[in-house]
Structure 1
Amino acid sequence: MSRFDEVKNLVMDLEADFDKFYSKGNQAAGTRVRKGMQDLKNLAQDIRKEVQDMKNAG
């Protein structure tokens, strides 16, 4: 479950930047959101591969 916690923590860490970008138009926050979403994508891809490997192994 620690991988799931990593995903939750990453999303929660981005919450303030989402608010700053969408509510206040802060462009720097938008850059941080894009970077965080890329990190989330990479983490999700790693988890997907890990699950697939575990499924195939056993």
Structure 2
Amino acid sequence: MKELIEKINAGIEAFKTDAELQAEKGNKAAGTRARKSSLELEKLFKEFRKTSLEASKG
């Protein structure tokens, strides 16, 4: 679970960096990377939810 949380934190940092570049400088490539990061984060959050529920049960 610790590795999963580290992956989520790294993904959030990558998303924040790219989203800020798009918002502040209009960088289209950064916007594409931010959208891709958001999809990856969605998968990681679902995995975290599943893992967290299993841990709370057992």
Q: Please, what TM-score do these two structures have when normalized by structure 1?
A: 0.79
**Post-superposition, which runs of at least 4 consecutive aligned residues in structure 1 deviate over 3 A?**
none
Partner of 1:21: 22
Q: Identical aligned pairs, as a percentage?
A: 28
* Separation (CA, whole Å) in 2 of partners of 1:27 and 1:53: 40
Q: Highest CA radius of gyration, 1 or 2?
A: 1
Q: Which has the higher contact order (CA 8 A, sep 6+)?
A: 2
Residue ranges of structure 2 left out of the alignment (5+ in a row): none
Residue ranges of structure 1 left out of the alignment (5+ in a row): none
Q: Note the 1:11-50 alignment, pairs <5 A.
A: 11-50=12-51
Aligned length: 57
* Separation (CA, whole Å) in 2 of partners of 1:44 and 1:15: 16
